[in-house]
Amino acid sequence: MRPFEGKVALITGSSRGIGRAIALRLAEGGASIAVNYVKDQAAAKDVAAQVQAQGARALVVQADVGRVEDIRRMFRQGQEEFGGLDIFVANAAATAFKPLLEVREHHIQRTFDITVRGFIVACQEAVRLMEGRRGRIIAMSGWDTLRCIPGHGLLGAAKAAMETLCRYLTCELAGRNIVVNSVCPGSVETESTRLYSGGRWETWSSVRAAASPYRRLGTPDDVARVVAFLCSDAGEWVCGQNIIVDGAVSINAPSPNTPFAY
């Protein structure tokens, strides 16, 4: 079965990690995919090739979603290639992982340009291309909106704002048959999380795996499967929600020996 046959999806930051997994999962269901990247063109082309190998169409689009002109160009390219849009996944993010007293003005600007301003502008562009379709908008949030994680204060605040925007967009876009949700992954093994571990990946990952009753980290595809459900017909009545995908970490009381302290 190919539930997304004839659909078009644009996923920001889809050359690697969770974005890549979402792109491939939707392509497996038949969706044409606009693969967005900022710097790693080779990785984006590899994703596009895998999308095409599944019998779906692919477009590679370079755009920095912290820049409004790049966002508008990205959607124009998608429209020229595919004619419209059914699914928009706001996955890209960037920040400085510093305590709040150490972040500089340009760190604040960059983080909120991508996650708040960029998200609003991208949704405006996406909605225009979803006219007459049953659209889906998914914002990728993060566990730092639920728990205080060292160095995540700035990104957590921006992602929390994004979650609020999703609730408002749900109400504003219901009359257009566009469903909006956010997805909040826990610890997922990606290049970004390995980087955040600061060279202590084995310790970092084992501690976080131990915090889950399932005793493992999430995978990008764990998250991608949830996103695919929300984008499907079966997920249509899930509206304006922040779906936590964390292997039950957020409901499990941490051990006194779990070093989550600052």
Domain of residue 175, CATH code: 3.40.50.720
Q: Is the pTM of this model over 0.85?
A: yes
Q: What is the pLDDT of residue 59?
A: 98
pLDDT band at 262 (very low <50, low <70, confident <90, very high): very low
Number of domains in the chain: 1
Q: Which helix (H) or strand (E) holds 58?
A: strand 58-62
Considering only residues 201 and 112, tell me which one the structure prediction assigns the higher pLDDT.
112
On whether residue 1 sits in a domain, the answer given is no
Q: Can you count the helices (H) and strands (E) in the chain?
A: 9, 7
**Residue 198: pLDDT above 80?**
no
Residue 183 predicted with pLDDT over 90? yes
Q: What is the structure's pLDDT at 110?
A: 97
Dist CA 258 CA 262 (whole Å): 12
Q: Has residue 204 been placed in a domain?
A: no
Half-sphere exposure of 180 (CA within 13 A, CB side): 26
pLDDT in tens, 235-247: 999 999 999 999 9
Beta-bridged to residue 58, according to DSSP, are 33
In this prediction, residue 83 carries a pLDDT of 97
Which pLDDT does position 256 carry in this prediction? 47
Q: Tell me what pLDDT residue 254 has.
A: 59
138 inside domain: yes
Domain assignment of residue 261, yes or no: no
Work out the average pLDDT over 29-58. 98
- Give 150's DSSP letter: T
| Distance between CA atoms of residues 230 and 93, nearest Å | 21
Query: pLDDT at position 190, please?
Result: 87
DSSP H/E element including 33? strand 32-37
- Pairing, β 58-62 against β 32-37: parallel
Q: Is residue 250 part of a domain?
A: no
| The Cα angle at residue 67 between residues 61 and 72, in degrees rounded to 5 | 55
- Helix (H) or strand (E) segment spanning residue 52: helix 41-53
> Helix (H, G, I), strand (E, B), or coil: what is residue 35?
strand
pLDDT at 250 > cutoff 90: no
Do the beta carbons of residue 241 and residue 181 sit within 8 Å? yes
pLDDT band (50, 70, 90) for residue 227? very high
If you average pLDDT over residues 182-202, what whole number do you get?
Answer: 86
Closest CA to 120 of 157, 193, 66, 175: 66
Share of the chain above pLDDT 70, in %: 96
List helix spans (H) across 92-247.
Answer: 105-112, 118-129, 153-173, 191-196, 201-210, 220-231
Q: Is the pLDDT of residue 258 over 80?
A: no
| Domain-embedded: residue 248 | no
Judged by DSSP in three states, 3 sits in coil
Least trusted range by pLDDT, from 176-180, 184-188, 207-211:
207-211
Is 131 inside a domain boundary? yes
pLDDT at position 204, please? 82
- The answer, yes or no, to whether residue 213 has pLDDT greater than 80, is yes
Task: Determine the structural domain holding residue 22 and report its residue range.
Answer: 8-188+219-243
Burial 81-97 (b: 16+ CB within 10 A, else e): ebeebbbbbbbbbbbeb
Asked whether residue 262 is assigned to any structural domain, the reply reads no
What pLDDT shows up at residue 253? 63
Helix (H) or strand (E) holding 181: strand 178-185
Average pLDDT, the chain: 93
